[in-house]
Structure 1
Amino acid sequence: MSNVVIAIPLFMLMIIVALLPLLIGVYVYRDAKRRGMNAALWTLIAILAPSLIGFIIYLLVRGNYSNLKCPRCAATVTEQYVVCPKCGAKLKPSCPNCSAPVEPDWTVCPKCAQPLPTVQEDIVTPVQPKDKTLWKILAAIIIVPVVLLLVLGLSFSAASGGGSSSLREVSFDEYYADQELPESTKEYVRNWLGEINPRTDHVYALRYTY
């Protein structure tokens, strides 16, 4: 029973360790493809690099690639896009004179010095999808192994403490009843025990050959 208790957490830990690279690979491939990166290359780097180094490098590099989406057609756009190249939705304010991109709080176009209107209509702001999968992966990397190690430690403790031992006093005849010894040897030991006058605070040893 104790072996089963220990084997279950170990089996679960092995499953997590085996599935984690697959989960990371699927996530990196989809995220890199969505950002316009080399999805196959980054997937191999994230999976094959030891100790999650490839995955960490990918998370650092991907910040240079846009993850913004057009709110109308969900096409990938960047912060520099004035309009969506797929559906034509206006993503940023622009100068009505030279069409240069401007910021909402600017009053004059820095390119042509044209006064800018206070409000520009029909502008849809790009959105950034929530990355819930990344948090799930981080939870699997950090929380799950810790929990499984705790369970494994408790299992070892239960297995080591589950056994019981007991001591009981037996007589000479009871002890030697199942011993395959010559009767002369048993008689010698019996005589020896009778001669030593044993005390409870002493330890006695008898060595004999047979």
Structure 2
Amino acid sequence: MKRHKPLGKLLFWVLTTGFLLTLALMGYWMFPYMSDVFSEDRGWFLFMGLAVLLLIGLNGAIAVFIYRDASRMGMNTWLWMTAVIYIPNLIGLLIYFVVRQQHKRDGSVSAKEEYCPHCGHMIRTGE
């Protein structure tokens, strides 16, 4: 499983960079027309800015949760984080939880293993 980690990490950063560059280019293209849209009502501009920041914060919180949970479960963290963030409408999150439950049932995470309550790494394996 460890040999797939660099591939998942690369995929995550390529998609994230492409997404951010696309947003930057769209903003640059739309900038001359922004004054016409938001000149009458600054409240609309404030509302849209806060909505975008809220969505970015929510995606960041979900990404941190998936990264920590997938590493604790022994799953590919970067690949799952990429899938959850870039599959729209929280479908990726639902897929993750379904696969996570199947991963638990298959016995790949033993009940005899002990994990650190702070970082989630395995301390020792029971016999």
TM, length-normalised to structure 1: 0.31
TM, length-normalised to structure 2: 0.49
Structure with greater proportional helix content: 2
Greater gyration radius: 1
Per chain length, whose mean CA-contact separation is higher, i.e. which structure has more relative contact order (CA < 8 Å, sep 6+)? 2
